[in-house]
Amino acid sequence: MTRLPLRNWALLDEGCQAKVYAGTTWQDDRHAVAKVFKEERDFVIEREVALKLQKNGLNSFPAILGSGEHEGCQTILYSRKGHSLKHFLALNGGKFSLKTTV
């Protein structure tokens, strides 16, 4: 695998499985999100599920722009659909309405 074409990346969030960075791609300056996995098994599972969703035409799921290695970790590069859930949670005072969660 090759290094991903990352530019202007900033840490968006970190969970138990991965770090998520937001930025742009080198080729076309497209807004994207890179999910850098801590364990290879988590990378394999998510990539497999994401590819199946993409193959089945589920456009609500972000498209995979590429995958590879970044800083020694397996990474998936997704198109960025918009703001993160963390952003909307902050806008709503730290709580989601019932309408948002359903």
Ordered by start, the domain boundaries in the chain are 6-101
Q: Domain 6-101: give its CATH code.
A: 3.30.200.20
Q: Among residues 16, 29, 31, which one has the least CA distance to residue 84?
A: 31
Tell whether pTM > 0.75: no
Give residue 81's pLDDT: 74
**In this predicted model, which residue has the larger pLDDT, 45 or 100?**
45
Instruction: State mean pLDDT over 79-90.
Output: 77
Element spanning 23, H or E? strand 18-25
| pLDDT bracket for residue 77 (50, 70, 90) | confident
